[in-house]
Amino acid sequence: MKKHLKKILWLTPILLFGFYWLGIYLSLKNPMEEIVYSENGGMMRYVMFKPFTETIGNDGIWKEDEEFQIYPYSEEIVGGQEDLSVMMFRDSSEWVYWYKYRLDRNVSVRMTFKYNSKKRVFFQKEVYLYADEKEIEGSEFLQKLATYGKDRAWLKKQSKKVAEQYILGTWFRNGSSRYSLKNLGDMKIEYNKLIEK
């Protein structure tokens, strides 16, 4: 009887740890929730995931008293005439991803992506041309873009590349083994109306 009691006492912490891990694992319903947990979660996050900042090639330290932080993706992921960074908020999954594609010295295509945790949608919030310190949107944007040999098809391809390859794809390669582009859990990806026309 004492041997059985000793075995039960010895197994109890292992079982509790296993159930705790399983509870967290099952509560993360999509890749964006995993990404946020890998930075904002408790101690268990180190057991489950590599920190998100490491997966994007950034070893910056997020200090405990900072409410938000901006981290650029490494040049090994996004380089050349492209830049991508993420603004992360503590205790929130409403992170913002900023992308810039330089067409010329003072001209660039800009995009922002955001996750809406209530609707479970990772969406392209903005897409515009930044030229001469002004934002150019809509049909004027497409006309100006054409002068650089780019069109709506290029814009759509570039938007998908940013969302699916750079942002989510980097996480699937370096962080999550559970989700993929074919399995986004309960999340959807939505692109800006300008490129979906």
Number of H helices, E strands in the chain: 8, 7
DSSP 3-state helix, strand, coil percentages of the chain (rounded to 5)? Answer: 40, 25, 35
**Segment 144-164 mean pLDDT:** 95
Stronger pLDDT, 24 or 132, i.e. the higher one: 132
Mean pLDDT on 131-148: 92
**pLDDT band at residue 151, thresholds of 50, 70 and 90?**
very high
Question: pLDDT value at position 176?
Answer: 79
**Residue 27 — very low, low, confident or very high, per pLDDT cuts 50/70/90?**
low
**Residue 93 in contact with residue 187, Cβ under 8 Å?**
no
What 3-state class would DSSP assign to 181? coil
Instruction: For residue 177, give the amino acid letter.
Output: S
pLDDT of 16 > 60? The answer is no
Q: Is 89 helix (H, G, I), strand (E, B) or coil?
A: strand
DSSP strand pairing (121-131 vs 107-116): antiparallel
d(CA 78, CA 56): 10
Rounded CA separation 164/183 (Å):
12
Average the pLDDT over 130-136 and give the result: 92
CA distance 185 to 32: 10
Q: pLDDT per residue over 40-88, tens digit each?
A: 766 666 557 788 889 999 877 666 667 788 999 999 999 889 999 999 8
151 HSE (CA, 13 A, CB side): 2
Mean pLDDT of the chain: 85
30 pLDDT more than 90: yes
Is pLDDT at 139 greater than 80 in this prediction? yes
Strands 68-72 and 82-89: antiparallel
